[in-house]
């Protein structure tokens, strides 16, 4: 997978640095979304010289390259995850319980919006809020 990535980046004129690899590996192992701060903490233990600035820049870079998905959770904190399986979240605003839903659920909506507005929607992570069955 890294080889494949290296190719992909080099082809576009970018470089595969140890920092980028480390950060990608962290997110891969987590298999879940992480905030920039969480990524920084985990990455730092394996790479002591690493700075926050680099983490923020790298996450944003990997997102622009389509390698990571970005999403907002709660009241506006950005989180990232590897763009392997696309999904979204339903979060209960009372108990905080979260439920994962597949992207299929959104496809109709996305297609309709695309037709109506001309926007090509990103397949980025979306969080919807509500009340779970228990809290209603």
Partner DNA sequence: TTCGTTATTGCAAATGCTTGCAATAACGAA
Partner DNA sequence: TTCGTTATTGCAAGCATTTGCAATAACGAA
Give me the least distance between CB of 20 and DNA, in Å please.
5
Q: Which residue's CB is nearer to DNA, number 18 or number 102?
A: 18
User: How many binding residues for a copy of itself (CB under 8 A)?
Assistant: 34
Q: Are residues 131 and 94 in contact, defined by beta-carbon separation less than 8 angstroms?
A: yes
DSSP 3-state of 90: strand
Length of the chain equals 136
Q: How far apart are the C-alpha atoms of 35 and 42, rounded to whole Å?
A: 11
Binding residue (CB under 7 A) for DNA from 17, 28, 111, 114? 17
| 46 φ/ψ sector (left φ>0, alpha ψ -120 to 50, else beta) | alpha
Binding residue (CB under 8 A) for a copy of itself from 6, 16, 21, 132? 132
Return the one option of DNA, a copy of itself, none that residue 58 interacts with (CB less than 5 to 8 A, by type): DNA
Binding residue (CB under 8 A) for a copy of itself from 61, 78, 86, 103? 78
């Amino acid at each position: 997978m890294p080889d494949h990535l290296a190719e992909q980046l080099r082809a576009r004129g970018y470089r595969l640095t140890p920092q980028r690899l480390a950060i990608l590996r962290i997110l891969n192992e987590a298999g879940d979304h992480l905030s920039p701060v969480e990524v920084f903490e985990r990455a730092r233990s394996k790479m002591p010289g690493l700075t926050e600035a680099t983490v923020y820049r790298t996450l944003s870079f990997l997102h622009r390259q389509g390698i990571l998905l970005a999403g907002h959770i709660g009241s506006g904190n950005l989180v990232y995850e590897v763009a392997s399986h696309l999904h979204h979240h339903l979060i209960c605003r009372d108990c905080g319980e979260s439920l994962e839903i597949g992207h299929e659920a959104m496809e109709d909506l996305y297609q309709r919006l695309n037709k109506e507005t001309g926007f090509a929607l990103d397949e980025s992570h979306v969080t919807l809020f509500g009340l779970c069955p228990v809290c209603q």
